[in-house]
Structure formats: structure tokens, C-alpha cells
Amino acid sequence: MASRKGTEIEINEQIRDREVRVIGADGQQLGIMSSRDAFRIARELDLDLVKIAATAAPPVVRITDYGKYRYEMLRKEKEARRNQRTTELKEIRMTPNIDTNDLNTKLAAARKFLEKGNKVKIALRFRGREMSRMNQSKYILDDFGQQLSDIAVLDKPAKVEGRNMAVVLSPKK
């Protein structure tokens, strides 16, 4: 018996349902019959009876070679994992008294992250007396978002988190 992420695949004698919908080895539907009759047909063809849809009413079984079926399922899962895109949240930290050239460098880094499909969190870090001028520094984040508006959309507006003020940008689709 093979396990596929916690679900057990029932084959041959393990299928105990009274009635099942049978799909033949050639992919054609053979109709609804007892699981005993379906198992007998599979044995005559020297193949296995594999339950492919346990939650259907009645459950769906296929007459196929079990090893080949398992191989196909593993291949499909591997293909799905390969095509799956994970988005990361990249963070760029700045201070409120950032110089123009430093800001341009941070902009280029954020643009690169967004082009790769990642979300970007731009954090403005305040220290000491800078805390008293927090609201006046919000324009830095607004300008940052404005300059990236051609490839990014604002996910979360400027929000104060302790000593930081941050916005989250995500790539345009």
C-alpha cells in the first residue's frame, strides 16, 4: 500500500465498497457494478483495480497497472511542485535622512526584487530624536512607492510598527 501525503490509495481487495463506477484500462467507462465484479474483470486483464476518487458517490475505480499509476501520480506531483512559484517578502531598510544616491541604490534593489516576483517591504527606521519627526518622514515612503508604481502596487500603506514605518509593495500582474 502506498501513501500519498497522508491519504492511502486503496487497490484490489482493499476496496470494500458495495458499488463502484469502473473506468476500463482504455479509459472508457464500464458503468456501475459491484467491487467484486470490477476486481474480477481487472484480474482477467492481469491488471489492478485502483480507487482514484474515494469521495465520489459511488467511488470511482480504474483498471490499470498500479506501478504505472503510482509513477504517473508521483511525476504529476513533482511537475506541480516545480511549476509552483513561492513569493518571498524582501525587506529594504532605510533611515529618514537617506541621501539621494543611497535612495537610488535602494530603489534599484527593490526594482530587482519586484521583477523577480517577490514582495518588497520598505522599512524606514527611526532612532533617537528622529522619532519626533516620524510623520514628516512619511513622504520618503510615498516617493519610493511612486517611483516604483510602473511595476508595483501598494499592498499595505505606510504603517508605524514600533520604531519603524513600513509599506509593502507587490509586483503588478
Q: Is the pLDDT of residue 2 over 50?
A: no
The tens digit of pLDDT for each residue in 105-150 reads 999 999 999 998 899 999 999 988 888 888 888 888 888 888 998 9
What pLDDT score does 4 carry?
A: 45
Q: Which three cell numbers stand for residue 135?
A: 510623520
Judge whether 15 and 24 are in contact, CB under 8 Å. Answer: no
What pLDDT score does 7 carry?
A: 57
Q: Is the pLDDT of residue 6 over 60?
A: no
Q: Is the pLDDT of residue 3 over 70?
A: no
The tens digit of pLDDT for each residue in 33-73 reads 988 888 888 888 889 889 888 888 888 999 999 888 899 88
Domains of the chain: 3-83 (3.10.20.80), 89-171 (3.30.110.10)
Q: Are strands 29-34 and 19-23 parallel, antiparallel or unpaired?
A: antiparallel
pLDDT band of 156, cuts 50, 70, 90: confident
72: which residues sit within 8 A by CB, 6+ positions away? none
Judge whether 43 and 4 are in contact, CB under 8 Å. Answer: no
Indicate the helix (H) or strand (E) that contains 164. strand 164-171
DSSP 126-161: --GGGGGGTGGGHHHHHHHHHHTTTTEEEEEEEEEE
What pLDDT score does 131 carry?
A: 84
What pLDDT score does 55 carry?
A: 87
Distance CA 56, CA 95 (A): 58
